[in-house]
Structure 1
Amino acid sequence: MRDPAQPCNKRDPGSGCAAVRGFNRLHAIFGQTDEGPKSPFTCIAVHPSDMAVAMAALDAAIVIESGRGARRIAFDDLHRLPGNDPSRDTNLAPDDLIVAIELPAFHGRSHYLKVRDRASYAYGLVSSAITVEMDGDQIARARIALGGIAHKPWRLPAAEAMLAGERPSEDLFRRAAAAGLEGARTYPMNGYKPELARVLVARGLAETTGLEPLQGAAGTAFAASVGGIAGVREVA
């Protein structure tokens, strides 16, 4: 998408997708459309935002106004997968205007964790936003959203379901992360992403629940760990 000399259905609808058989190290492992490099529907691009991933984990709602009146939608319904129109990032109509973002009351702990090639001027290879609400020593509710793996912020409902009612443990977090990443579809250059995502989810859950020290400034909505890495090798 960044190279204007290469075909890209998102940038130039109908031109095809160079990444699907080319340089795809940064691309999607969930929710992509792959009908071959010449198809007008193929798109394996990822959503690069950090804020949107955090909003997904907080179950935000979007208030929209247009000539047809006002409406309120769940944040998960704002962004879309490529489907049959990779050029569209959201489900907004041309005359829609976002006038408010609503966040439900939250009394738990949260954490944002991101890994990228360098510590600045680089999108996250994978990022994770995690919220946890406790009931005594048990997890009442956990919400997990990932960035850098799909065309939209990607929730992990299977992992969230496994955590509810359980006591925090490293084994539980590893199993939940593995369940959440089942079904990933990788490409020759991004086979590292499922394992990297599993590590981020397990570590983020451990830090959010207190099994490991939470990185970042206290009192922020999302304490954050953001770092750069020299390189990533694929883990078998």
Structure 2
Amino acid sequence: MRVNKWGVGVILAAAVLLTGCSAGGSDKPAESKPSSGASQEAEAQAADCPELKDGATVDGTALSTCISDAMSDTAGYAAKTDVMGIESTAKFNPSEKALESTSPAGSLIAIGDDVWVKSATSEWQPADPKSSDPVIAALSAAASDISSLDPTTAAEAMTGEFTVTGTGERLGEEVYLVSGTIEQQGTAVDVVFEVTADYVNLAMTSTASVEGQSVEISMEITEWDVKQDIVAPL
């Protein structure tokens, strides 16, 4: 999500949008096996999902559907995101449509249709894209479309061909490195997803050129399928 030429807004909201596909699981909290809860639903759709194996070429649209389906029932998750060396943290409870993002530049909390923001020097306040404070305005504008911050919604942007370029490990699970290019807000974004065998995405790296500047964002889930403590600040 482009806000003020990828200024404050990208640190918070765009990181969530560009990293995508980061929700889902079972109702039982997982410790080191984050994708076990999603396996039943994913297995039921296995016939329609692309096989993940090293060197395979997979259809992005089919893969995004499988990721969204496998990850739609999580109790919640926590993640950390790095945007050009600036680290932020995020919490997400999909059943409540609740999101909290915190970085050195500012913070954002969205619960349903209600959104609050604060800069590093201000108190919490309702989002106001027309605020005279440029930081508050940027944060508010970045949060103006909460549905776009839903990582499951972001997964729908995966189209075209993707390639499995290797394997790795996240939170005790083997993951397949799935590489390709997606388009977000008119910008081509090179992405690498780290997807488990049952289509849970545990990490992602995305790189884009914006206004002539290379922007790299990395995301990794740090806590999976655990309801997060997200409360209204006002």
TM-score class, shorter: under 0.3
TM-score with structure 1 length normalisation? Answer: 0.27
Q: Which has the higher contact order (CA 8 A, sep 6+)?
A: 2
Q: Which has the higher Rg, Structure 1 or Structure 2?
A: 1
